[in-house]
């Protein structure tokens, strides 16, 4: 179960153009970008937040928040720092916990928001609508 304290959010983020980076600059450059993303998540995570690499170039951050605006601020902060810190833009999807919602449903909403950002052209942040 994801829930431990008060209201919280799940943030999913993909490095835009990661496959191209690996293909053109090599896997060492890709590994550097992944390490830089992990460092960015650690430094930008609200107190008590937990960051995870899900696989490939996808990362998750679970954190307590005061609501949608607070969670969205974290997403935009990550996205704004990414080009300088990682050398890539980010696509970010967020979901805010809803009363009675399963962890799986919440993660699915964040994932749907992430893929909507990608569909719109990447390099953005979107909060999933409530279930």
pLDDT digit string, tens, across residues 108-123: 999 999 999 999 999 9
Catalytic residue among 57, 103, 111, 123: 57
Is residue 80 over pLDDT 80?
A: yes
What digits encode the pLDDT tens for the residues 33-53? Answer: 999 999 999 999 999 999 999
Q: What is residue 5's predicted lDDT score, i.e. its pLDDT?
A: 57
Neighbouring C-beta atoms of residue 112, cutoff 10 Å = 15
Is 57 catalytic? The answer is yes
State pTM to two decimals.
0.91
Q: Give the closest residue to 92 by CA, choosing from 104, 108, 110.
A: 110
Q: At what angle do helices 27-44 and 68-86 cross, to 10 degrees?
A: 140
- Cross-strand pairs, 11: 61, 94
């Amino acid at each position: 179960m994801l829930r431990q304290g008060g209201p919280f959010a799940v943030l999913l983020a993909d490095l835009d153009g990661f496959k191209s980076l690996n293909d053109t600059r090599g896997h060492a450059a890709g590994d550097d970008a992944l390490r830089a993303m992990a460092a960015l998540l650690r430094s930008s995570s609200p107190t008590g937040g937990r960051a995870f690499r899900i696989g490939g170039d996808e990362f998750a951050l679970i954190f307590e928040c005061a609501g949608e605006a607070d969670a969205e601020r974290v997403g935009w902060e990550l996205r704004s720092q990414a080009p300088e810190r990682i050398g890539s833009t980010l696509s970010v999807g967020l979901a805010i916990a809803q009363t009675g919602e399963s962890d799986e449903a919440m993660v699915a909403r964040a994932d749907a928001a992430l893929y909507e950002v990608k569909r719109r052209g990447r390099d953005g942040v979107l909060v999933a609508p409530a279930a």
